Amino acid sequence: MNDKLPPSPPEQEQEGASPSLSVDWRPDPASPLPLHAQIAAHFLAKIRTGAWPSGMRLAPQRELCRRLGVNRSTVVTALGQLTALGLIEGRRGGGTFVTDTSSAETERSGNWNDYVEEGIHYPNLPTIQDINRLEYEPGLIRLGTGEPAPELLPGAAMNQVLAGLSQRVLPPLSYEEPLGSPVLRAAVSRMLERSGILADPASILITSGALQGLQLIALGLLPRGSTILLEKPSYLYSIHAFQSAGVKFSGLPLDGRGLIPERLAAEAVRSKAAMLYSIPSFHNPTGIVMDTERRKELMEVTGRLGLPILEDGAYQELWLDEPPPLPLKALDREGRVLHLGTLSKAASPGLRIGWIAGPEPVVRRLADIKMQSDYGASSLSQWAAASWLTGGYHEEHLHTLRRRLRERRSLMLELLRLHCTGLATWNVPAGGFYIWLSLLHAGPPRKLFTAALHAGLLLNTGDLYDRSDRRHLRLSYAYASPAELERAIPLLAGLIRAGG
Ligand SMILES: Cc1ncc(COP(=O)(O)O)c(C=O)c1O
């Protein structure tokens, strides 16, 4: 065991990972036991059971106050009691840690703090870890969340689908084929055909969300040390699937029409790129749609270079004004494009159903890795997804979802016009969820994130999608309710005006 974190991926340097603390517990004000005693007892149990191992860092006091919903003196008293018991200690250089009690015996059995810093997968960026946790704290307005609000998800229709499944003679309790349920693959194939993509079920692999598709491709198709080209900013910078597999990133500039083919060609040659990753429709985070001309040029340039493309179509069906141009996969005659899709962005992020369409040997190779990692996406989810698609529910739901997203988009744009004019500029997205807010004055993203948090707002700052960015926010009109947006945008404007 060495004592270092896995080296940070290039461009991903940030302060250390957030301390862990279970968030599903708060002291009970109605209990006869004082709050500080409840906290001390809870922490003591965590330490005694080994859930918090020797040497683990506790969250800073201010953070503890917020998470536990108590004031500073309560936390200080509780920590004082644990310090007196020798269970925690302050360290020079700052921070409170679970006392290192490692004896020769624990040394032999290993120190978990070393292990958790040892694996080959990079940890999430600290801000992403914070967001992943804070999204479940009540009371915060989620201004950047990349999923539809629960009230925009099709609960009633999905209940019908599930009720239909429960009428089957037997529920789907077995594993499915390596490529996934044939019924679901046939349904996805028909759905892709409506978007112009011809992929028969043998060319489709069902994944646990599009995210797993990215992971399988990173692990299965790209050698360590190879380079992938991508838009900068990009969703891909906010996850570490590729860097953890030893793949390097080379970010390409975007203009209002998407990737710039000449820049791409030059960089592909310079970096000897192995693949291009692109989100051509309703790009995450900028909302940009690559126009038809650019798509053709892109196919032409990459064709000359023999460069494979990974097309992420996560948002393509979420058009609000008019359908986007044909997907790159629909223009592909050589089997050079892998196309990713998902049910997460329209129907249900929780079902965890996505797909990869590509040449048969490629999807079979990826299916083989998938069989070694999870034996397939949940059979229940696959059956629900198949009924959802074959029953025509999806198309009907998209119709309603688009209307409701249009309303929220209009509201967000109007609020930005009223409160952010003179502070920032922004795009008018033609689909998807995002507005890429460009602040007129750059500033430290973490400062704005923290100030917003204290004001009750959860932000996705631009640095999550481009490590050097200091002037953007990814706003989403898909999650916060209209009433929340009306409260949040003036607050946000105030914070921007005050410089975070
Ligand atoms: C561009 C893009 N691709 C893929 C994903 C992963 O989605 P899921 O794994 O939920 O299908 C996301 C989610 O935010 C995304 O924005």
Q: Residue 21 contacts by C-beta under 8 Å, 6 or more apart in sequence? A: 58, 59, 64, 67
DSSP, res 201: G
Query: What are the tens digits of pLDDT across the range 132-164?
Result: 999 988 899 999 999 999 999 999 999 999 999
- H or E element that contains 187: helix 182-194
Q: Which atom of ligand 1 is nearest to the CA of 279?
A: 1
Query: What are the tens digits of pLDDT across the range 70-104?
Result: 999 999 999 999 999 899 999 888 899 999 766 65
pLDDT at 19: 47
Cite the beta strand spans of 13-118 per DSSP E: 88-90, 96-98
Mean pLDDT, residues 334-344: 97
pLDDT at 373: 95
- Six-digit token string for 173: 């309790």
Reported as a pLDDT band with limits 50, 70 and 90, residue 50 is confident
How much distance in Å is there from the Cα of 92 to the middle of ligand 1?
A: 42
Reported as a pLDDT band with limits 50, 70 and 90, residue 17 is very low
CA-angle at 306, arms to 305 and 309, nearest 5°? 105
Mean pLDDT, residues 252-265: 96
pLDDT at 107: 56
How much distance in Å is there from the Cα of 104 to the middle of ligand 1?
A: 46
pLDDT at 216: 98
Q: Ligand 1: list residues with CB < 6 Å.
A: 146, 209-211, 235, 279, 284, 312, 314, 342, 344, 349, 354
In three-state secondary structure terms, 473 is strand
Instruction: Give the Cα separation of 312 and 44 in Å (integer).
Output: 47
Mean pLDDT, residues 412-431: 98
- Six-digit token string for 33: 């036991």
Instruction: Give the Cα separation of 356 and 342 in Å (integer).
Output: 9
Mean pLDDT, residues 252-259: 96
pLDDT at 455: 96
Q: Which atom of ligand 1 is nearest to the CA of 214?
A: 4
Atom 14 of ligand 1, residue of closest alpha carbon: 146
Task: Decide if pLDDT at 451 tops 60.
Answer: yes
279 closest CA partner among 232, 213, 216 = 232
How much distance in Å is there from the Cα of 325 to the middle of ligand 1?
A: 20
How much distance in Å is there from the Cα of 377 to the middle of ligand 1?
A: 16
What mean pLDDT is reported for the chain? 92
pLDDT at 333: 93
Reported as a pLDDT band with limits 50, 70 and 90, residue 114 is confident
Q: Which atom of ligand 1 is nearest to the CA of 353?
A: 11
pTM of the model: 0.87
Indicate if the alpha-carbon torsion angle 358, 360, 363, 366 is positive or negative.
Answer: negative
How much distance in Å is there from the Cα of 110 to the middle of ligand 1?
A: 36
In three-state secondary structure terms, 66 is helix
Give backbone dihedrals phi and psi of 180, rounded to 5 degrees, phi first.
110, 170
Q: Which atom of ligand 1 is nearest to the CA of 283?
A: 1
Out of 284, 339, 343, 370, mutate this one to test ligand 1's pocket (max ligand atoms within 8 Å of CB): namely 284
Task: Decide if pLDDT at 399 tops 70.
Answer: yes
- Six-digit token string for 225: 């040390």
DSSP conformation letters of 67-86: HHT--HHHHHHHHHHHHHTT
Task: Decide if pLDDT at 4 tops 70.
Answer: no
Residue type, 283: H
How much distance in Å is there from the Cα of 106 to the middle of ligand 1?
A: 41
pLDDT at 119: 85
Task: Decide if pLDDT at 2 tops 50.
Answer: no
Reported as a pLDDT band with limits 50, 70 and 90, residue 1 is very low
Out of 206, 212, 235, 239, mutate this one to test ligand 1's pocket (max ligand atoms within 8 Å of CB): namely 235
pLDDT at 161: 97
86 closest CA partner among 54, 50, 120, 61 = 54
How much distance in Å is there from the Cα of 78 to the middle of ligand 1?
A: 41
- Six-digit token string for 307: 């460069």
How much distance in Å is there from the Cα of 218 to the middle of ligand 1?
A: 15
Beta-strand pair 275-278/227-231:
parallel
Query: What are the tens digits of pLDDT across the range 268-296?
Result: 999 999 999 999 999 999 999 999 999 99
CA torsion 433-228-211-410 (nearest 10°) is 0
How much distance in Å is there from the Cα of 113 to the middle of ligand 1?
A: 30
Beta-strand pair 457-458/141-142:
parallel
Neighbours of 407 (CB within 10 A): 12
Instruction: Give the Cα separation of 394 and 135 in Å (integer).
Output: 27
Round the CA-based radius of gyration of the chain to a whole number and report it.
Answer: 24
Instruction: Give the Cα separation of 28 and 35 in Å (integer).
Output: 7
328 closest CA partner among 199, 222, 432, 437 = 199
Reported as a pLDDT band with limits 50, 70 and 90, residue 20 is low
Out of 214, 344, 464, mutate this one to test ligand 1's pocket (max ligand atoms within 8 Å of CB): namely 344
Q: Which atom of ligand 1 is nearest to the CA of 147?
A: 14
Instruction: Give the Cα separation of 480 and 439 in Å (integer).
Output: 21
Instruction: Give the Cα separation of 420 and 493 in Å (integer).
Output: 6
CA-angle at 241, arms to 51 and 385, nearest 5°? 90
404 closest CA partner among 140, 147, 151, 143 = 151
Give a three-class secondary structure readout of 373-405. HCCCCCHHHHHHHHHHHHCCHHHHHHHHHHHHH
